[in-house]
Amino acid sequence: MVLPAGGQNKAEEELDAEDEKRSSENVQTKLCIFADENSLHLPELDMEQGVDILLANPETIEKLEQCVMNWQTQITIVIEEQQKKQPQAPGPLAEIVLWQERADAVNALSEQLRQPAVKKILEVMTRADSSIVHTLEGTVAELTKYRSECDDNFRFLKTMERHFKNLADGANLGVILENIRPLMDSLQTVWMISYHFQSGDRMVPLMERIAWQLCERVAQAIDVHTLFKYVNKKEATSQVYEAKQVLDQWKSSYFDVRADIEKLGWNQRWEFDRKRLFERSDYMASVCQDLYNVLQILEEFSNFFGPELKRVTGEAKLIDEILGRVDRLVSPFEQIIFNPFNILKMSSWKTVIQDFNTSVQVGAIDGEAITFIDQSFKTLRSSSTAFEILMKFKHVRCREAIKNHLMKKSDDILAQYIKEVDAIAEIFKKEKDKPVLSKFETPVAGAIKWARFLADRIKQPILSFLKAPELLGSDHTKTAKDKYMELAVQLKEYEKKTYECWFAETEHNLPLLMKKTLLANTTSDNPVQAEVVYIFSHHLFIRGIISETNDLVPLGYSVPGQAQHVALQELNFCRYVDDLKKIVSRYHCVIDGLSEAHFIMLAPQIEAVQKELNYGIPDFLSQAFEAVSKFETLFSHIHRNEKEIDSKLQAMVAASLLKIPSPDKSNNLPGVKEFCERIEQERVKTVNLLVRKYADIGFLITKIEHLVLETSSGKAKVMAEYYSYWERKVLDSLIKMVLRNVQALNMALTGSTALFQVDVILSAPKIVLQPKSSDVYSLIMQCVRDCVESTKQFVRWMHGTCIECPPVRVGNEDEFVTFTFCSDVWQHPQINESATSVSQNMQQLLLSVDRYLPHWKRHRALWEKNRTIVNEKFAAKRPSCVMYDDKLQFLTGIQQELMLEPHFRKEHIICLNLEPLILTVWETAQSWITSLGGFLNKPAKEDLFNLRDELTVLYHSRPFMYLCHC
């Protein structure tokens, strides 16, 4: 993958960081704004009530249903409104703004759907089994999909924002030029990575906006009215050249990216509507090229008629006058009243350029004109064209020196004509045996026309030359005339000889051809069918004679009488040939569709058709037509039955043997055993249906046997290869069916959707799964084995038949064996590879679960230690109440922590039910608390009794003092 080149400097990185910070600070504000605009209305109900209470009130249910219907309508309207939104400006930055607004709108709506009140309403309506919930789910799914699209598009476009800003606000065209290739690389990256920009529907409008921005910047930078007023002409030339570079770089970068993508072998081609992307930029580039050419001419004039020329010639005033005329050449550019970059003004701009070029060519200095003439006549391509130019300048008012110099070019024109005659002679010599003709020309008449065309090419110029007195006095004139006469005689002789050979050959061969039949046969090159193929042996020769006759007569030639007679019968002859062609075409069409088994099975019918076709003359056209039609009908019936067989095989391929059960309405996942049992139940139903379809295949083949042989035995010898063909097709279909199902199961196992749940229990001293990991693995792998072994229900056919094999005894074994497709399916390498992949993925899943279980070992002291012994040792130390309280608080904290633990945890496709484990650990902690309480009770009770005794003794010893204090 070619990633965008270049990088940001430190200042640019800091600026981008600040922009990102401001964007993140404003996101919540935008969400609030969009939430106010598209807020979901909540009913005026007490939503603090329980779900069951809300369900018990029909009026409440009706209000909530109306509320959900309003949500569904509102979400649909928001999506449609956002999809209809269009950018508010023609540049690429408007595209970023558009997708940001769309993303903000749908994100605000999505956030509202996560409110607790909304979720509670949906839960009530789900339990009320309202159909509107399913409709809303579809709409929410569409909203989620569109939200993902908006977020992705905004994120990808955001990566190009810096380039877009440089295009729109760059200091000069040089900055824009530096950003085009990195921008195109970024477009390539987006096109290859983004799911939504991998088509022209999205990429072309974006690139069209970029092209618009480039063209606008060029139009702003190049002002024709002030361009030629630059004091420094080189600076103006550089400005125009840089503008053209920008436009050319835009197009060349596009093709460079396409070449890079083709080298990578990417499955989608980088090919878009070039007219939309480059029509305006190409035209503007051509205008820039025109301006560049004008500036170049002006600069060349300035350099030529400069100070050096003034110093050498001493004609400063004359040179200044010439330069004044040169300066006036640009006046039309400064006075134009239209925008030259507007493609609708193309003709007006071309007129201005053409006027300028004409002024330069006609009004230039004599020396420049003479130099131009010399250079032009040194590179002549056509003497005729050069002569026309010479004659044109002869009548144009110009300086005498230019006219005299032109008249001296007659020798160059005659020399060029001699070269042309030599070239024509070389062409004639090289191609006269096989001239190049158009596909509509006949060989003889076409060769004569070709010779006449060559003669005309050398005849017309010499006739024009002989009419010009200034050319007659040249020494090259006699040489040119001699060359012409020599080649003209050769062409005339060639024409005569070609006609005479055809005339003699036609008179000799035509009577013999008319006595032969039109239809002949030959052996096919196809090793499978090894049958007769019919061709038309000589009708093309006769048609050739007819065509030659029709073409030679207009050329003024006579033709043999019999050839003329055949030409008059052309319509009848063509009708006979066309009828035979149709019959043979229909025959070959059926034959080409037959397999080797068909040829063996239909040999008698093919022989009967060939017998009728062997006549091949018009009297037997009707019999041949009837034979071919009968054969076509037979094959049509066979094809219809084969199509029905193919449909049953396709049903096998598409069958779901490992159908993943959907969760019930309460979203309670089944246990792994229940999960596998459901798969097995569906598999049994599907296999039973497929077995009946398989039995129907044998019946359909028997129907084909009845059509071909009028028997229904299912064991015709001539159809043995045909039976074998369909048995192989059945095996291929079963292999595809099993492979597709195992691969689908493997994909589901590697997905993120939970399929079944497994209990996690405490089996002191370990925390284990119930059922065990090994049992879970065995259950899943048993599903794979059952899928493959379901092919045991499909019994193989007996050799050379379409009848199922009965159970047979193999060797000395007492048990009977039924031959099925199962062993062949098991041996298929892809199925074994897929089964191995399922095994490895299940092992990885269970290993991931095992890595999570040690998380609970932090509480292992509760069940590994003997609480009675530990508490007795603690109590023997006669600890204080504070120490008891510390321990009780610790155990209570464990219980509170357990209550906060989630009861379910998803590990890829396995949902772990932690509720049994949490309950067991909590009860264990409670037993520790009870045990500690018992040990605390005894010393506390003793201390209480001792205190009571002390108070009693004190009361009896000092009762009066006690009463006084009271």
pLDDT, position 506: 66
Which of 160, 177, 202 terminates a domain? The answer is 160
Is residue 587 one of the residues assigned to a domain?
A: no
Is residue 71 within 8 Å of residue 193, measured between CB atoms? no
Is residue 448 within 8 Å of residue 499, measured between CB atoms? yes
pLDDT in tens, 583-638: 666 666 767 767 777 777 767 767 666 666 655 444 455 566 666 667 777 777 88
- Based on the fold, state whether residues 676 and 796 are members of the same structural domain: yes
Is residue 660 one of the residues assigned to a domain?
A: yes
pLDDT, position 741: 92
Q: DSSP label at 536?
A: E
Task: Pick 421 or 402 by higher pLDDT.
Answer: 421
Query: What is the rounded radius of gyration, in angstroms, for the C-alpha atoms of the chain?
Result: 49
164 Rama class: left (phi>0) / alpha (psi -120 to 50) / beta: alpha
- Cα 15 to Cα 72: distance, rounded to the nearest angstrom: 42
836: confidence class by pLDDT, cuts 50, 70, 90: very high
Average pLDDT over residues 88-96: 87
Q: Which residue has the tokens 């956030």?
A: 111
Chain mean position to CA 699: 43
312: confidence class by pLDDT, cuts 50, 70, 90: very low
- Cα 122 to Cα 71: distance, rounded to the nearest angstrom: 11
Is residue 571 one of the residues assigned to a domain?
A: no
- Cα 680 to Cα 49: distance, rounded to the nearest angstrom: 43
pLDDT, position 308: 46
686: confidence class by pLDDT, cuts 50, 70, 90: very high
Least confident range from 273-277, 521-525, 852-856: namely: 521-525
pLDDT, position 371: 53
Average pLDDT over residues 534-556: 58
pLDDT, position 837: 92
pLDDT, position 310: 53
Average pLDDT over residues 44-56: 75
Which residues neighbour 832 within 8 Å (Cβ) at sequence distance 6 or greater?
A: 826
- Cα 882 to Cα 872: distance, rounded to the nearest angstrom: 17
Average pLDDT over residues 182-192: 84
833: confidence class by pLDDT, cuts 50, 70, 90: very high
Least confident range from 22-26, 215-219, 253-257: namely: 22-26
pLDDT of 963 above 50: no
Maximum alpha-carbon separation in the chain: 174
pLDDT, position 354: 86
Q: What angle do CA 611, 612, 618 make, to 5 degrees?
A: 140
pLDDT in tens, 516-534: 444 445 544 444 343 444 4
Which pTM does this prediction carry? Answer: 0.42
Is residue 742 one of the residues assigned to a domain?
A: yes
pLDDT of 732 above 90: yes
Q: Which residue has the tokens 């003794």?
A: 953
767: confidence class by pLDDT, cuts 50, 70, 90: confident
Is residue 565 one of the residues assigned to a domain?
A: no
Distances in Å between the alpha carbon of 100 and those of 34, 147, 160, 779? 12, 11, 14, 49
pLDDT, position 29: 39
Average pLDDT over residues 788-805: 89
**DSSP letter string over 435-497?**
----TTS-HHHHHHHHHHHHHHHHHHHHHHHHT-HHHHTSTHHHHHHHHHHHHHHHHHHHHHH
Which residues neighbour 766 within 8 Å (Cβ) at sequence distance 6 or greater?
A: none
- Based on the fold, state whether residues 904 and 833 are members of the same structural domain: no
Task: Pick 667 or 227 by higher pLDDT.
Answer: 227
Distances in Å between the alpha carbon of 286 and those of 248, 342, 347? 10, 12, 13
Tokens of 187: 């477009």
- Cα 89 to Cα 169: distance, rounded to the nearest angstrom: 15
- Cα 629 to Cα 633: distance, rounded to the nearest angstrom: 6
Give the total number of structural domains in the chain.
Answer: 4
Task: Pick 259 or 567 by higher pLDDT.
Answer: 259
Is residue 196 one of the residues assigned to a domain?
A: no
- Based on the fold, state whether residues 828 and 880 are members of the same structural domain: no
Domain region containing 878: 865-941
CA end-to-end distance (rounded Å), the chain? 98
- Cα 98 to Cα 78: distance, rounded to the nearest angstrom: 15
735: confidence class by pLDDT, cuts 50, 70, 90: very high
Nearest-10 Cα torsion for 9, 15, 16, 20: 160
pLDDT, position 403: 52
- Based on the fold, state whether residues 675 and 822 are members of the same structural domain: yes
pLDDT, position 530: 39
Average pLDDT over residues 194-219: 83
Q: What angle do CA 489, 491, 494 make, to 5 degrees?
A: 110
Q: Tell me the pLDDT of the chain averaged across its residues.
A: 76
pLDDT of 839 above 50: yes
**DSSP letter string over 303-327?**
HHTSHHHHHHH--HHHHHHHHHHHH
- Based on the fold, state whether residues 662 and 762 are members of the same structural domain: yes
Task: Pick 522 or 222 by higher pLDDT.
Answer: 222
- Cα 686 to Cα 738: distance, rounded to the nearest angstrom: 13
**Facing residues of 461 across strands?**
none
pLDDT of 364 above 70: no
- Based on the fold, state whether residues 698 and 760 are members of the same structural domain: yes
Peptide bond into 771 cis (omega under 30): yes
Most confident of 398-412, 485-499, 569-583: 485-499
- Cα 83 to Cα 757: distance, rounded to the nearest angstrom: 41
Is residue 762 one of the residues assigned to a domain?
A: yes
Distances in Å between the alpha carbon of 66 and those of 72, 73, 261? 10, 11, 53
pLDDT, position 688: 92
pLDDT of 719 above 80: yes
Closest CA to 658 of 771, 828, 823, 782: 782
Average pLDDT over residues 376-383: 58
pLDDT of 370 above 60: no
Least confident range from 85-99, 311-325, 587-601, 759-773: namely: 311-325
Task: Pick 32 or 480 by higher pLDDT.
Answer: 480
pLDDT in tens, 419-474: 878 887 888 788 877 787 777 677 777 777 787 888 887 777 777 666 666 555 56
With H, G, I as helix, E, B as strand and everything else as coil, classify residue 816: strand
Strand 910-913 relative to strand 756-763: parallel, antiparallel, unpaired? parallel
Most confident of 237-246, 299-308, 685-694: 685-694
pLDDT of 145 above 60: yes
Task: Pick 268 or 157 by higher pLDDT.
Answer: 157
- Cα 168 to Cα 493: distance, rounded to the nearest angstrom: 73
- Based on the fold, state whether residues 497 and 438 are members of the same structural domain: yes
pLDDT, position 621: 53
Q: DSSP label at 668?
A: P
Share of the chain above pLDDT 70, in %: 72
- Based on the fold, state whether residues 369 and 496 are members of the same structural domain: yes
pLDDT of 204 above 90: no
Average pLDDT over residues 405-411: 63
pLDDT of 573 above 60: no
- Based on the fold, state whether residues 682 and 831 are members of the same structural domain: yes
- Based on the fold, state whether residues 837 and 875 are members of the same structural domain: no
- Based on the fold, state whether residues 779 and 871 are members of the same structural domain: no
pLDDT, position 78: 87
Least confident range from 200-204, 250-254, 498-502, 557-561: namely: 557-561
Q: Which residue has the tokens 């480039």?
A: 214
pLDDT, position 809: 75
Is residue 420 one of the residues assigned to a domain?
A: yes
Which of 105, 130, 160 terminates a domain? The answer is 160
Average pLDDT over residues 884-889: 83
- Based on the fold, state whether residues 845 and 740 are members of the same structural domain: yes
940: confidence class by pLDDT, cuts 50, 70, 90: confident
- Cα 769 to Cα 779: distance, rounded to the nearest angstrom: 14
3-state helix, strand, coil split of the chain in percent (to 5) is: 75, 5, 20
pLDDT, position 863: 78
With H, G, I as helix, E, B as strand and everything else as coil, classify residue 610: helix
With H, G, I as helix, E, B as strand and everything else as coil, classify residue 966: coil
Backbone angles phi, psi at 757, to 5 degrees: -120, 155
24: confidence class by pLDDT, cuts 50, 70, 90: very low
Most confident of 37-41, 58-62, 366-370, 570-574: 58-62
Tokens of 966: 């009271």
- Cα 96 to Cα 155: distance, rounded to the nearest angstrom: 9
Residues 224-235 as b/e (b if ≥16 CB within 10 A, e otherwise) read beebbeeeebee
Which of 489, 505, 521 terminates a domain? The answer is 505
- Give me the count of residues in the chain: 966
Share of the chain above pLDDT 90, in %: 5
Most confident of 20-24, 455-459, 712-716, 871-875: 712-716
Is residue 342 within 8 Å of residue 287, measured between CB atoms? no
Is residue 490 within 8 Å of residue 421, measured between CB atoms? no
